[in-house]
Amino acid sequence: MPKAPPFIRALRPKQWAKNVLLALAPLSAGVLFHPNVLLEVVLGIIAFSLTSSGGYIVNDLLDIESDRLHPKKRFRPIPSGEFPVRVAWPTAIVLLLAPAIVSALLGYWLFGGVLIAYVIIQLSYCIWLKHQPVIDILIVASGFVLRAIAGAAIVGVPITQWFLLVISSGSLFMVAGKRYSEKVESVGKEESHTRKTLNLYSLGYLRFVWTVAATLTMLSYGLWAFDLNGGTSVGSIASVFPFGAALLLYAFDIERGEAAAPEEIVLKDVRLLVSGAIWAALFLLSVLARQYGWELPTF
């Protein structure tokens, strides 16, 4: 299979899957399938994808020397020289600033503000914070939270405390699990080939973090699901079970050190995909029931 052009690979399009989080708040509010809202969400996903790609390019530019010594990262377009530095810098600047500026000009001030906040946090991470243990995990997790907030901002829907708790704790669970798997993979390898902060973490500490985060995620979702339709419908209650199953299956992948690339493990684990699909169906049923006033059994 032929490689994509260096410019496209430098954008890391595989990472764009994370930006579907922008649809979560509108979906939870029951407005996602309104034509104008769906269009706004799609445009928001595109804007966030371009902005995040600008951050990836900056990260590769700042780490170019160390990446050239890495067994895998040295093949990336910037460290390998396929995507010249003189072109990469202006490309990154345009990608980081243009989506927020265009959003503000079109009247989406709040969404543009979230994009600017994301840019500031990402630049701080690339320059300094990624070398700070614990802080680096929190910063990466905040990127997922900002995506969810951005989705609410672009369509103007409120977000609840339960929504923020589920997204925040779930993001921390995934990021800490990713670091745990990276730590497992790094055992026996040269320190120069791993993240600097990774050498400061112990497996026990990282397991503690993702265990606490998983527990909080499950509890928060349960409380949110019971309040999803302003009552305890069958759909919202039933969705707790596949959600918990997916959480446990993903934790199993983390413990085996196979979750270093979350976007890949989700597609490879069939059981995880099935659990996620069942959860999505039940969650969507609850949302549609609220939107159209369907009478579902309650307890």
Q: What is the pLDDT of residue 229?
A: 47
% of residues, the chain, pLDDT over 70:
91
Least confident of 29-33, 123-127, 207-211: 29-33
- C-alpha dist (Å) from residue 160 to 184, 235, 292: 36, 19, 21
Q: What is the pLDDT of residue 298?
A: 53
Task: Provide the mean pLDDT of the chain.
Answer: 88
| Verdict on whether the full-model pTM lies above 0.85 | yes
Please give the single-letter amino acid code of residue 112.
G
Which pLDDT tens digit goes with each residue over 41-61? 999 999 999 999 999 999 999
Task: Give the chain as a 3 state SS string.
Answer: CCCCCHHHHHCCHHHHHHHHHHHHHHHHCCCCCCHHHHHHHHHHHHHHHHHHHHHHHHHHHHCHHHHCCCCCHHHCHHHHCCCCHHHHHHHHHHHHHHHHHHHHHCCCHHHHHHHHHHHHHHHHHHHCHHHCCCHHHHHHHHHHHHHHHHHHHHHCCCCCHHHHHHHHHHHHHHHHHHHHHHHHHHCCCCHHHCCCHHHHCCHHHHHHHHHHHHHHHHHHHHHHHHCCCCCCEHHHHHCHHHHHHHHHHHHHHHHCCCCCCHHHHHHHCHHHHHHHHHHHHHHHHHHHHHHHCCCCCEC
Q: What is the pLDDT of residue 91?
A: 96
Q: What is the pLDDT of residue 155?
A: 94
Checking if the pLDDT of 296 tops 80, the result is no
Backbone angles phi, psi at 202, to 5 degrees: -105, 155
Which pLDDT tens digit goes with each residue over 211-231? 999 999 999 998 888 765 455
DSSP-assigned beta bridge partners for residue 233: 298
Backbone angles phi, psi at 149, to 5 degrees: -65, -40
Question: How far apart are the C-alpha atoms of 150 and 148, rounded to whole Å?
Answer: 5
DSSP-assigned beta bridge partners for residue 298: 233
Which pLDDT tens digit goes with each residue over 232-282? 567 778 889 999 999 999 999 999 888 877 777 777 788 999 999 999 888
Q: What is the pLDDT of residue 268?
A: 79
Report whether 279 contacts 286 (CB < 8 A).
no
- C-alpha dist (Å) from residue 268 to 43, 92, 253, 264, 265: 29, 32, 11, 6, 5
